[in-house]
A and B are shown apart, each in its own frame.
Chain A
Amino acid sequence: MNHRLETTALWSAYVLLFGGMIFVKNEHAIHIAAQIVILGLFAISFNILFGNTGLLSFGQALFYGLGAYVTGMIAKKFGGDHFLWALLLVPLVAMAVALVLGALSLRLSDVYFTMLTLAFAQLVWGITIKWYDFTSGDDGIQAIPKPEFLAGGLHYYVFAFLVVTVCLYLLWRLHRSPFGTILKGIRQNPTRVNFLGLNVFRHKLLAYVISSCFTAIAGGLYAGLDGSIHPDMFVWTMSGGIILMTILGGMRSFFGPIIGVAVFVLLEDVVGRSTQYWSFFIGAIMIVVVMLFPKGIVGVSRQFAGLFAKKGDPLEHS
């Protein structure tokens, strides 16, 4: 399968599948689909850092939580009519925070960078839990209002789907742009990129800011979905979960992460109905995927498709 065909197929599948959900009458299915697109945006923006640039941040939950709390607290304080502008404010706040944290943490590389991002996220989580008067602490914030026209599962799903699709389109353009190519270059050989006369640090910082900005939008969307948010959104297991989902789906593909998210969310829903041990199944699947198919679900599909193609495609592209 060539690049263009695969891209068209995946985009069409995304639009048909998630767009088609609006005709589904099942409220629970719509809620699950909304979770998948929102977490999918989180995972794909995380993958700009991880899969593309080769930066493993263990603290992206910081921006997910930040987006949710900025949106949730403003809407709660000023009323549902302010939900939308709060959501518009989210990327700006996230970019400002990412600029500072990125400037500090990207000076380090590899595991030190990972540890520092983890530390920042845990710090913000700690503050959220302890600052009762401001964040309601461990209780979280409930009954977050949103505008009248977004009330109801289907209306909010359509809204979330449209926002996520626009975000994904922007991220995809970025992924395919010369800037995206430089990021891949940084992952493969930063020294060479440096020799090309390009500033590696600045490109990494920009990738970090962009990734964090879209992650925060996902968080903001989540605040409106359930109307309740919780400090759990900041915690390291949230970041870790997204890393697992991304690896499961395939980190070398643009759409891979959202496929991983879908598998996770659906497994939790389906397996969770009959057993309390659904995480055991996730664990077992992860072991199989990592041991046998390290390139994730998309990687496996490509290998499979490659068997029928005339010439072998490189596994690593769009």
Chain B
Amino acid sequence: MNHKTASLLSALLVCFTSAVSFAGETIKIGALYPMSGRGGLYGQDSEAAIKIALQEVNAKGLPGGRKLDVIVTDDQSKPALAVTLAKRYITEDKVKFLYGVVSSSAALAVTEVSKEYKTIFVGTDHAATDLTANAFQKYYFRVSNNTFQSMAAGAMYLQDMKLGKKIAYIGPDYAYGRDQIAELKYCLGKLGANFEMVGEFWPKLYEADYTSYITAIVRAKPDVLVCGFWGGDTVAFIKQAKAYGLFDKMKYFHPDGGGNYEVFSTLGAECPEGLIMSARHHNNWPETKENADFVQKFKKATGRYPSYAAEGAYVGILVIADAIRKVGNADDTEALVKALEGMKMKFPEDPAGFQSYIDPKTHQIVQAQAIGVTVKNDKFPPAKYMLGNFKVYPADKLMPPQDYIDLLKRTKK
């Protein structure tokens, strides 16, 4: 090797090493989502949305030229597996943030890992109010609505629209289904609403045949049927109830997970008109540039429109990047917690003139809730119906009051 080549090589080497040190290490985020089975679509949509968010965040740049990177692993919505993976992320992959989780029971287990290892956990899709109430710990933040927020809006809607006094409830027989009706009753009580429960029905999760429940509901003659299903259960129930003419006999009200795009895309032309629903994100509301951009970017990346899980997963990455920019690094966890507590940003699901913010006391994101009615709309194929005629409830009216949090602390372990 002559002098020239040697100096060229060493120059290259210097460039390379300095480039490495300049670019800095990537900041790792460890995400847990179900990637197959019933919740699999939420995991896949979340992963796609994370990729979109990463591109934006890394293009804009982070302090020290560092980049964000997300590892996604299938937690199968199993709490024990989620704990093992979360511990591995922290101790082996050296992630700075835990992320995601669809199942609330898995999230309740992971938040304990976050607390033990003092690692921030940004929850994106699980809805159990407990995480930002009785099971709250300071390293946990949630960037999507909890069931209380949906039910608080739901109670106001029932009051405002005078849908009737007699209420029946059907929901899956586990914590998610039980919490929703307890919260709705609490919120109706707070509003001083005059209502009467004429029946509560508890099919098991993933029930295939709702016939017996449908006939029992029709016999109970409620004015409103409140529904607490999610995903495929909603689709199966609506299809079967339609055949029995249930929707002609009463109002159907599904304020937490009913209005998920997944339901409309699966039902297509079979979706009945006039169902009252909401979801944590709508593809056609608010009609802001931010929302339209997000939905189109997702469509371009995946060839399909997003279910509500996607927006939460997208937003969480922006929130983390914002906190890192404010603090200047990703190593000072306590400063990051402080930065996240003061977070206020404009997201796709924020209506014009409103910005989401994190409640510093409970670490729950505070967002408006829009409840709509199914109307014909084929702008988001394969769905033939989407929600319309939205009624919007202001964000600050939807947070659980202290006496409800105290109640949870007393009654739940």
Contact = CB atoms under 8 A, between A and B. Distances in A.
Contact of B175 (A26, A133, A139): A139
A206 interface: no
A28 B91 contact: yes
Interface string B99-112: 00000110011011
Interface in B79-95: 79-81, 83-85, 87-88, 91-92
Interface size range on A against B: 20 to 34
Contacts of B69: none
B105 A138 contact: yes
Nearest to A77: B413
B174 interface: yes
Contacts of B108: 139-140, 142, 228
Interface size range on B against A: 20 to 34
Nearest to B78: A232
Contacts of A139: 104-105, 108, 128, 130, 175, 412
B175 A273 contact: no
A230 B105 contact: yes
A82 interface: no
Given A138-B175, A142-B108, A272-B73, A228 B83 contact: yes
Contact of A132 (B36, B83, B116, B178): B178
B200 interface: no
A116 to B, nearest CB: 22
Interface in B90-146: 91-92, 104-105, 108-109, 111-112, 115-116, 128, 130, 135
B109 A140 contact: yes
Contacts of A203: none
B81 to A, nearest CB: 8
A230 B109 contact: yes
A132 B413 CA distance: 10
Contacts of A268: 81
A32 B87 CA distance: 10
Contacts of B130: 139
B80 to A, nearest CB: 7
A43 interface: no
A233 B85 CA distance: 18
B113 to A, nearest CB: 8
Interface in A114-169: 129-130, 132-133, 136-143
B173 interface: yes
B83 A226 contact: yes
B223 interface: no
A132 B177 CA distance: 12
A127 to B, nearest CB: 13
A134 to B, nearest CB: 10
A276 interface: yes
B35 interface: yes
B76 to A, nearest CB: 9
Contacts of A76: 413
B61 to A, nearest CB: 29
B252 to A, nearest CB: 25
Contacts of A32: 84
B290 interface: no
A230 B174 contact: no
B79 A140 contact: yes
B413 A232 contact: no
Interface in B163-190: 173-175, 178
A54 interface: no
Given A137-B178, A138-B174, A139-B128, A230 B79 contact: yes
A232 B80 contact: yes
* Residue from B88, B116, B130, B411 whose CB has the most chain A CB atoms within 10 Å: B88
Interface string B10-43: 0000000000000000000000000110000000
* Residue from A28, A129, A136, A137 whose CB has the most chain B CB atoms within 10 Å: A28
Given A226-B109, A272-B73, A26 B178 contact: no
B36 A276 contact: yes
A233 B81 CA distance: 12
Majority secondary structure of chain B interface residues (helix, strand, loop or mixed): helix
A70 to B, nearest CB: 15
Given A28-B88, A28-B92, A136-B412, A276 B109 contact: no
B413 A31 contact: no
Nearest to B86: A226
A290 B158 CA distance: 59
A282 B130 CA distance: 36
Given A138-B175, A139-B105, A232-B79, A26 B92 contact: yes
Contacts of B91: 26-28, 31
Nearest to A76: B413
B92 A129 contact: no
Contacts of A26: 91-92
B177 to A, nearest CB: 9
Nearest to B73: A272
A227 interface: yes
Nearest to B172: A138
Nearest to B44: A276
Contacts of A227: 112, 116
B174 A273 contact: no
Nearest to B205: A138
Contact of A228 (B88, B109, B128): B109
Nearest to A73: B413
Interface in B361-413: 411-413
A143 B83 CA distance: 12
A28 B112 contact: no
19 contacts: A28-B91, A132-B178, A136-B413, A137-B174, A139-B175, A140-B79, A140-B109, A142-B112, A142-B135, A226-B84, A227-B112, A227-B116, A228-B79, A228-B83, A230-B105, A233-B80, A272-B74, A273-B73, A276-B74
Given A28-B91, A137-B178, 18 more contacts: A28-B88, A31-B91, A133-B411, A136-B413, A138-B105, A138-B174, A139-B108, A139-B175, A139-B412, A142-B112, A226-B109, A227-B116, A228-B80, A228-B109, A230-B109, A232-B78, A233-B80, A276-B35
Interface of B: 35-36, 73-74, 78-81, 83-85, 87-88, 91-92, 104-105, 108-109, 111-112, 115-116, 128, 130, 135, 173-175, 178, 411-413
| Top 7 A-B residue pairs of the complex, sorted by shortest distance between their CB atoms | A27-B91, A138-B174, A228-B109, A276-B74, A276-B35, A28-B92, A230-B79
